[in-house]
DNA sequence: CCAGTAATATTAGATTATCTAATGATTAGA
DNA sequence: TCTAATCATTAGATAATCTAATATTACTGG
């Protein structure tokens, strides 16, 4: 018997990579900002949870610690993030976003939302609301499972 | 003024990479099939449009020709796709999926849909239908723009 | 017909993302 | 205290992606 989510699964499998590619291309297209999607997401996390650790970033993004480490290397090398000692636990690294990082994040976020928003503007109000609520449902289902 | 798609854009930007990561991890987790998402998508295209060219794959996936070329290299090296001469245009390459490729595709598709479907099963019928229709809307909006 | 332009695929070379395995340092617990 | 677990990193591999450069083949306007 086909599960009740089968048709939906097929759609998700087809559409999500397409939208993802758009987002990736979009992010890279902004000269001088040039954040990759994982870099962008890292900055979002670090800004929101100031003082998070490398393990924190890895967990939120669903990455292994070495992957997160290299990702942060890249951001630190561009002066967008700093690593500090954690008081109390000297194994741990405390991550903080720099002014420059915060600015890059704000610009990238604005530009990406704008260009996504422009495309989504082709939908009528009902569809738009449906998409928004569908995204919430997907977030509930997928977050933590990456 | 904020565009009418702004909130939706924010959601998409947050949720799509999360779902994408799940799909990627899921695809790689099936030993012996081990198709990456781009490989999977290439096979889908080649199976559907038998005899397509390298440029055809590139266009459908939103890749540059060199990227598509390497992708096909990988699939050809694993015996899942063949390159043939095109009658009529000798620059062109005709791509065909092999029996082995078709079998790998079928298995990967089945496994991925199953595991996606299992997660999506947590949604109630109304939400599921909303997500399905939202995916259709997104496909309309994004396809071609990658 | 032929000279130049366009199209198709590829190679070369770079960057980034991701993994697993191994290492180092520090903390926590029996 | 000594052993375990935890946190970050380094090392090394593979894959996806890009741009630029290079054939090869087809098309087109004089």
Instruction: Find the CATH number of the domain harbouring A73.
Output: 1.10.10.10
A1 within a domain of the structure (yes/no)? no
- pLDDT at position B2 is 65
A110 within a domain of the structure (yes/no)? yes
Distance A56 CA to C28 C1' (A): 20
A100 within a domain of the structure (yes/no)? yes
B97 within a domain of the structure (yes/no)? yes
3-state secondary structure A8-27: HHHHHHHHHHHHHHHHHHHH
> Range of A95's domain?
6-142
- Strand D contact at CB of residue B85, distance < 7 A: no
- Strand D contact at CB of residue A83, distance < 7 A: yes
Q: Which residues on chain B are in Cβ contact (under 8 Å) with A13?
A: 23, 109, 112-113, 116
Whether pLDDT at B30 is above 90? no
- pLDDT at position A146 is 61
Coil, helix or strand at residue A95: strand
At residue B123 the predicted structure's pLDDT band, cuts being 50, 70 and 90, is: very high
Do B17 and A20 count as a contact with CB atoms less than 8 A apart? yes
pLDDT digits (tens, 9 = 90+) for B44-76: 999 999 899 999 999 999 999 999 999 999 999
Q: DSSP letters of A108-133?
A: HHHHHHHHHHHHHTTS-HHHHHHHHH
The residue of chain A nearest to residue B136, with distances taken between CA atoms, is: A11
A123 within a domain of the structure (yes/no)? yes
Give CA angle at A131 (A128, A137), nearest 5°: 145
| Interface size between A and B, measured as CB pairs under 8 A | 200
User: How many domains does chain A contain in total?
Assistant: 1
- pLDDT at position B46 is 97
B96 within a domain of the structure (yes/no)? yes
Lowest-confidence region among A69-78, A95-104, B2-11, B98-107 = B2-11
CA torsion sign for B117, B123, B126, B132 is negative
Q: Which residues on chain A are in Cβ contact (under 8 Å) with B122?
A: 141
B29 within a domain of the structure (yes/no)? yes
Do B15 and A116 count as a contact with CB atoms less than 8 A apart? no
Whether pLDDT at B26 is above 70? yes
Per the prediction, chain B carries an average pLDDT of 92
Q: Which of B18, B42, B109, B136 should we substitute to test contact with A (largest number of A Cβ atoms within 10 Å)?
A: B18
At residue A6 the predicted structure's pLDDT band, cuts being 50, 70 and 90, is: confident
pLDDT digits (tens, 9 = 90+) for A61-97: 999 999 999 999 999 999 999 999 998 899 999 999 9
Do A9 and B61 count as a contact with CB atoms less than 8 A apart? no
B1 within a domain of the structure (yes/no)? no
Burial B98-135 (b: 16+ CB within 10 A, else e): beebeebbeebbebbbebbbebbbebeeebbebbbbbb
- pLDDT at position B31 is 67
pLDDT digits (tens, 9 = 90+) for A28-46: 887 666 899 999 999 999 9
CA distance A86 to chain B (A): 29
Whether pLDDT at A1 is above 70? no
């Amino acid at each position: 018997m086909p599960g009740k989510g089968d048709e939906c699964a097929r759609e998700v499998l087809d559409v999500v990579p397409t939208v993802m590619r758009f987002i990736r291309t979009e992010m890279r297209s902004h000269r001088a900002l040039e954040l990759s999607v994982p870099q962008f997401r890292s900055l979002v996390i670090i800004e929101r949870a100031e003082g998070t650790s490398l393990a924190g970033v890895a967990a939120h993004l669903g990455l292994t610690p070495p992957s997160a480490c290299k990702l942060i290397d890249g951001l630190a090398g561009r002066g967008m993030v700093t690593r500090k000692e954690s008081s109390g636990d000297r194994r741990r690294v405390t991550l903080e976003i720099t002014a420059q990082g915060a600015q890059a994040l704000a610009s990238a976020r604005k530009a990406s939302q704008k260009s996504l928003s422009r495309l989504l503007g082709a939908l009528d109000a009902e569809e738009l609301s449906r998409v928004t609520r569908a995204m919430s449902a997907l977030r509930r289902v997928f977050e933590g499972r990456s």
